[in-house]
């Protein structure tokens, strides 16, 4: 997708500070974080929503989520995290390229029920 911002990052047209990557996914800090350490897990190939992801790359998605979360928890001294994924405009998806939000959490941070949309 020529105009997709995440495809441009994946292809190296736009530089992004990668936190972690494997063959099919990478993670970067969110450009507009709603909490300290807010980061994104993004597929390297263009898929509009989670429904388009091939089942065969599910293990790599989980690897990227787990590895990124552990890195962020250590870096920000958090003791938990949230994973959020919006699919389609009606659910708050802004960029039509599948991605997952990771939010490091700390006890008492008062960020329960964060809505990303």
Residue ranges per structural domain of the chain: 5-105
DSSP class of residue 73?
A: H
pLDDT digits (tens, 9 = 90+) for 49-105: 999 999 999 999 999 999 999 999 999 999 999 999 999 999 999 999 999 999 999
Q: Between 113 and 100, where is the model more confident?
A: 100
For the domain spanning 5-105, the CATH number is 3.30.428.10
Q: Give the active site residue among 38, 46, 97, 99.
A: 99
What pLDDT does 40 receive? 98
What pLDDT does 1 receive? 65
Cβ distance 38 to 101 under 8 Å?
yes
Asked whether residue 115 carries a pLDDT value surpassing 70, the answer given is no
Active site includes 97?
no
Cα dist from 76 to 33, 39, 91, 109, whole Å: 14, 12, 29, 13
Mean pLDDT, residues 38-48: 97
């Amino acid at each position: 997708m020529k105009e997709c911002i995440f495809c441009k990052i994946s292809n190296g047209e736009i530089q992004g500070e990668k936190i972690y990557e494997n063959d099919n996914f990478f993670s970067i800090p969110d450009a507009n974080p709603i909490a300290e350490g807010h980061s994104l897990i993004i597929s390297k190939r263009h898929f509009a929503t989670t429904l388009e992801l091939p089942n065969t790359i599910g293990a790599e998605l989980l690897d990227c989520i787990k590895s990124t979360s552990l890195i962020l928890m250590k870096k920000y001294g958090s003791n938990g995290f949230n994973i959020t994924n919006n699919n389609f405009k009606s659910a708050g998806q802004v960029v039509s390229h599948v991605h997952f939000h990771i939010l490091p959490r700390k006890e008492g941070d008062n960020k329960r029920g964060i809505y990303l949309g």
